[in-house]
C-alpha cells in the first residue's frame, strides 16, 4: 500500500474509532464491548517471586455458578518479571502483557476462549531492537501496538517508544526529544492528529526500594506529538512525575489530563488557537495519585491516591472550577482502576510496584458509580492472597 493510501486508511479508521467513547482507558482504536463484562483479567506478580507470574481470570457474571471466583490462572512461564501494564490489540483478540524488570512481552490469546486465555508467544528482550528497556504502556494502533518504554536497554535514559505488529514483530523506534528523556504513558486523539506522552523514572531507579529512590531522577514533562508523522512538536512542563495521559472526550475540547504523582495534583493540557499547547495545575489531590480514569460522559475524573488510601471523584465539567464530589476508602493502597463501558461500575486493584507496596493485603474490589458518588460494593471482594502459590500482587486489569 502506498504512503498516501495508508494515511487515508488510517484516517478512516480513526474517524470510525472516535465515537466509541466507552471504556475510556483504552486506545480509541480498540474494538469496544457491546455487552456487560463477563470476565476481569488481573495481571499478577507472584508476591515472593518464587513462583511464576500469571494472569488471573475472575468470573463477574452474576448468573454464573462461578461468580466472583478465579476460574483460570494463566502461568506466564517465568518469575521476577514485575508484570505491570497490559492491553488489547485493536481487534481485541490478543493482549500484550508488559514487564518492568525482565524486558519481556507476553502475547496472550483471549479470543479463542476468553475464559481461558492462552500464552502464544514470549518476546525476550522485547525492546532490544530499539535499544530500549522496561516496556510500560501498550497502546493499540490499527494492526499495530505502540509501546512506551521507561528506560534505555542499559536501564537509564533516554526512554522512548517503539511500534510492533500485532504478532510481536518490531517495526520502528520513536525517539524522545532531548529535552524530555523520561517516558511513561501515551495517548492519542486521532481526530486532532495529536499524541501525548508523559514522564516517570527509569529502571536503575525504580528497581530499588522506595526509601532508596533518587527523587531528583523523575521527569516533569509532557510531549505533544504529530501522530501521523510520529514527530515531537512541543515539550510542556507539568508537576513532578506526570503519569497517565487522558485526552478529554468532550466534543470540541482540545485538552487532556494527567495525574502528577509526586506533586499530588491533577494537571490539564489545553490547545490554543495558534495550535500550541499550554499546561496548568487543575487541583490538588490526595497523596501519590497513581491512576486516572474518566467517566464515559467526560464529566468526572477518578483518581486513586496510593498513600492516602482513597479514590477521589472530581467533576471537571468546568475546567476553571473543578470540584471534589466523592471520596471512597476501598482499603489500603488503591491503585489501578477500570471503569465499565456503561460508566456504572469500577474495578480496583491495590499493588503498585513490588518496590513501593507497603501492605501484603492484596485484593480486587468493585465500586458502584452512583448519582450520589462512589459506593463500595461490599459483596464483591476477591482475596488475592489465597492462590496455591501464595499471595499475588494484582496490578493492571482488563474487562472482557
Q: Are 107 and 94 in contact, with CB atoms under 8 Å apart?
A: yes
**What is residue 28's predicted lDDT score, i.e. its pLDDT?**
96
Number of structural domains the chain divides into: 1
Low-confidence ranges of the chain (pLDDT < 70): 1-21
* Residue 293 belongs to a domain: no
At 104, which CATH number? 2.130.10.10
* Residue 233 belongs to a domain: yes
Q: pTM value?
A: 0.94
**What is residue 15's predicted lDDT score, i.e. its pLDDT?**
40
* Residue 399 belongs to a domain: no
Nearest 5°: CA angle at 288, between 287 and 292? 110
**What is residue 252's predicted lDDT score, i.e. its pLDDT?**
85
* Residue 281 belongs to a domain: yes
**What is residue 20's predicted lDDT score, i.e. its pLDDT?**
45
* Residue 174 belongs to a domain: yes
**What is residue 2's predicted lDDT score, i.e. its pLDDT?**
46
Cα–Cα distance, 106 to 313 (Å, whole number): 33
**What is residue 178's predicted lDDT score, i.e. its pLDDT?**
97
3-state secondary structure 133-201: EEEEEEEEECCEEEEEEEEECCCCCCCEEEEEECCCCEEEEEECCCCCCCCCCEEEEHHHCEEEECCCC
Q: Can you read off the three cell numbers belonging to residue 353? A: 510496584
* Residue 241 belongs to a domain: yes
In whole angstroms, how far apart are CA 90 and each of 26, 126, 336, 349, 392?
10, 20, 21, 24, 28
Q: Residue 203 is part of which domain span?
A: 3-287
* Residue 65 belongs to a domain: yes
* Residue 330 belongs to a domain: no
CA neighbor of 86 nearest in space, from 394, 355, 307, 348? 394
Amino acid at each position: 500500500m502506498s504512503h498516501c493510501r495508508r494515511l487515508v486508511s488510517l484516517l478512516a479508521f480513526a474517524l470510525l474509532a472516535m465515537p466509541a467513547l466507552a471504556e475510556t482507558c483504552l486506545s480509541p482504536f480498540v474494538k469496544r464491548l457491546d455487552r456487560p463484562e463477563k470476565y476481569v483479567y488481573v495481571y499478577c506478580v507472584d508476591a515472593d517471586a518464587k513462583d511464576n507470574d500469571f494472569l488471573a481470570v475472575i468470573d463477574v457474571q452474576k448468573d454464573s455458578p462461578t461468580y466472583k471466583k478465579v476460574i483460570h490462572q494463566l502461568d506466564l512461564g517465568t518469575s521476577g518479571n514485575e508484570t505491570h501494564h497490559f492491553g488489547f490489540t485493536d481487534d481485541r483478540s490478543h493482549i500484550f502483557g508488559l514487564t518492568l524488570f525482565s524486558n519481556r512481552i507476553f502475547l496472550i490469546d483471549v479470543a479463542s476462549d476468553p475464559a481461558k486465555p492462552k500464552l502464544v508467544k514470549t518476546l525476550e528482550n522485547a525492546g532490544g531492537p530499539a535499544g530500549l528497556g522496561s516496556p510500560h504502556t501498550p497502546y493499540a494502533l490499527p494492526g499495530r501496538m505502540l509501546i512506551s518504554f521507561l528506560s534505555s536497554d542499559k536501564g537509564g535514559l533516554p526512554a522512548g517508544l517503539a511500534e510492533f505488529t500485532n504478532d510481536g514483530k518490531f517495526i520502528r523506534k520513536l525517539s524522545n526529544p532531548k529535552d524530555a528523556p523520561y517516558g511513561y504513558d501515551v495517548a492519542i486523539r486521532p481526530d486532532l492528529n495529536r499524541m501525548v506522552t508523559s514522564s516517570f523514572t527509569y529502571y536503575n531507579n525504580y528497581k530499588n526500594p522506595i526509601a532508596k529512590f533518587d527523587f531528583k531522577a523523575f521527569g516533569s514533562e509532557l510531549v505533544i506529538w504529530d501522530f501521523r508523522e510520529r514527530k515531537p512538536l512541543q515539550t510542556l512542563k507539568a508537576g513532578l512525575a506526570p503519569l497517565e495521559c487522558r485526552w478529554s472526550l468532550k466534543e470540541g475540547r482540545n485538552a487532556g489530563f494527567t495525574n502528577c504523582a509526586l506533586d499530588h495534583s491533577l494537571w490539564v493540557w489545553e490547545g490554543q488557537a495558534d495550535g500550541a499547547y499550554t499546561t496548568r495545575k487543575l487541583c490538588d489531590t490526595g497523596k501519590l495519585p497513581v491512576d486516572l480514569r474518566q467517566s464515559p460522559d467526560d464529566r468526572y475524573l477518578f483518581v486513586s491516591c496510593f498513600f492516602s488510601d482513597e479514590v477521589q471523584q472530581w467533576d471537571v465539567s468546568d475546567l476553571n472550577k473543578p470540584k471534589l464530589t466523592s471520596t471512597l476508602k476501598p482499603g489500603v493502597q488503591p491503585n489501578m482502576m477500570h471503569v465499565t463501558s456503561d460508566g456504572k461500575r469500577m474495578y480496583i486493584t491495590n499493588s503498585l510496584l513490588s518496590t513501593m507496596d507497603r501492605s501484603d493485603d492484596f485484593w480486587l474490589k468493585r465500586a458502584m458509580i452512583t448519582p450520589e458518588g462512589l459506593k463500595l460494593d461490599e459483596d464483591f471482594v476477591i482475596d488475592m492472597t489465597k492462590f496455591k502459590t501464595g499471595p499475588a500482587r494484582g496490578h493492571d486489569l482488563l474487562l472482557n
